Amino acid sequence: MTADDKNPTSKTFPIASKDALKPGQMSCFDVNQRRIILARIDDEYFAFDEMCSHEDAELWKGALRKDHIECPLHGSRFCLRSGKPMEEPATVPISTYPVEINDDTIYIELED
Ligand code: FES
């Protein structure tokens, strides 16, 4: 992603160092007054909302799989790329955020 590809109303925030997570791990971070989960699958990183879109469940307590996160409360799975629920009871996507790595730092892009 180049600077020209970015949404003009968004900002990029450093979130963690590249070695903060091992493959298969996730962690929650406070970024610009939001709680964001950063997850690592193999050498790819994903950023998404901490809270499930269905009810008040913290997704970092759920199960991280190859391409989705499973909610710990009712079991809806959310695609890590699109945030879309893969089955009910959740019907509303969670927000996902672009991730980029520069040197050894992971950055995420958030709407301002
Ligand atoms: S709270 Fe996540 S599926 Fe119900």
Whose C-alpha lies nearest to ligand 1, atom 4? 74
pLDDT on residue 111: 84
Tally of CB atoms within 10 A around 80: 23
| Number of domains composing the chain | 1
Asked if residue 52 belongs to a domain, the reply is yes
**CA of 71, closest atom in ligand 1:** 2
pLDDT on residue 2: 46
Task: Tell me the residue range of the domain where 71 lies.
Answer: 23-97
Q: For ligand 1, say whether the CB of 79 is within 6 Å of any of its atoms.
A: no
pLDDT in tens, the chain (112 residues): 444 456 667 899 999 999 999 999 999 999 999 999 999 999 999 999 999 999 999 999 999 999 999 999 999 999 999 999 999 999 999 999 999 999 999 999 998 7
What is the phi/psi pair of residue 109, to 5°?
-105, 125
Chain-centre distance for alpha carbon 8: 21
**How many residues are present in the chain?**
112
Q: For ligand 1, say whether the CB of 94 is within 6 Å of any of its atoms.
A: no
**CA of 56, closest atom in ligand 1:** 1
Q: For ligand 1, say whether the CB of 74 is within 6 Å of any of its atoms.
A: yes
Q: For ligand 1, say whether the CB of 57 is within 6 Å of any of its atoms.
A: yes
Asked if residue 15 belongs to a domain, the reply is no
Asked if residue 28 belongs to a domain, the reply is yes
Domain harbouring 58, CATH code: 2.102.10.10
pLDDT on residue 5: 58
pLDDT on residue 3: 47
pTM for the full predicted model? 0.90
Asked if residue 30 belongs to a domain, the reply is yes
CB < 8 Å & 24+ apart, contacts of 54-60:
54/85, 54/89, 54/90, 54/91, 54/92, 58/28, 59/94, 60/26, 60/27, 60/28
